[in-house]
Amino acid sequence: MITLVCPSCGGQVECTDEGRESVRCPYCGSEIFFGASHTDAEFNNIRNANYQMEQDNLLDEKNRRSVKTWSVVRAVLIFLLAVQNYTGWLFIAIALKEENREAVKNGDFGFFILATLLIVGAFFLGLISPVILTLTRPNYNVVTKEEDKNAKVKAFIITLLINVLVWIASVTLAIISWKVFNIR
């Protein structure tokens, strides 16, 4: 019989069938390698530790990638919100221009409708994107390399805050543009 120390949970795992290459830890379910003798077991305890470290690294890499992908998606959504909101408020000014007022009087609401769609769309994007990003945020902290149960809550609060700031900034920028480009 060989006794191994589980590299994952530290549990003592005994195996009577010495012909096997590996065994599952009954406490945590990790795969543990062992050899045919106690010397092999000693050696394999090191091998198991290395194997576990490798598994941890692979898992960390995978988690890092998913967090990174998520961050890129968030950046794109924030950028979309900024552009959409800015364009919408810019179009409001264009729609109110002297020469366009005639068109409105004649029943041509094209610019108004476009501006409204953009502004309302940006508003809903700003509300919906934090929800989508919260639901899709991986429960992983890249700094501590551990599972982070608060990751989703943090993602929601931060994204909502960013969206509010981006919304204010894009409206401000649009109003500045009205003056700079002498639209109104």
6 binds Zn ion (CB under 5 A): yes
CA pseudo-torsion sign 149, 153, 159, 161: negative
48 binds Zn ion (CB under 5 A): no
At its nearest, how many Å lie between Zn ion and the CB of residue 52? 10
Q: Which one, 11 or 121, has the nearer CB to Zn ion?
A: 11
Binding residues for Zn ion, rule CB under 5 A, total 8
Angle at 63 between CA 137 and CA 28, to 5 degrees: 110
25 binds Zn ion (CB under 5 A): yes
Estimate to the nearest angstrom the gap between the alpha carbon of 126 and the chain centroid. Answer: 16
At its nearest, how many Å lie between Zn ion and the CB of residue 33? 13
23 binds Zn ion (CB under 5 A): no
Region near Zn ion per CB under 5 A, out of 19-27, 89-97, 124-132, 145-153: 19-27
Q: Is 57 exposed, middle or buried (0-12, 13-18, 19+ CB in 10 A)?
A: exposed
28 binds Zn ion (CB under 5 A): yes
Cβ contact 8:28 at 8 Å: yes
Question: In the numeric block, which tokens belong to residue 151?
Answer: 């990751």
Contact residues for Zn ion, defined by CB under 5 A: 6, 8-9, 11, 25, 27-28, 30
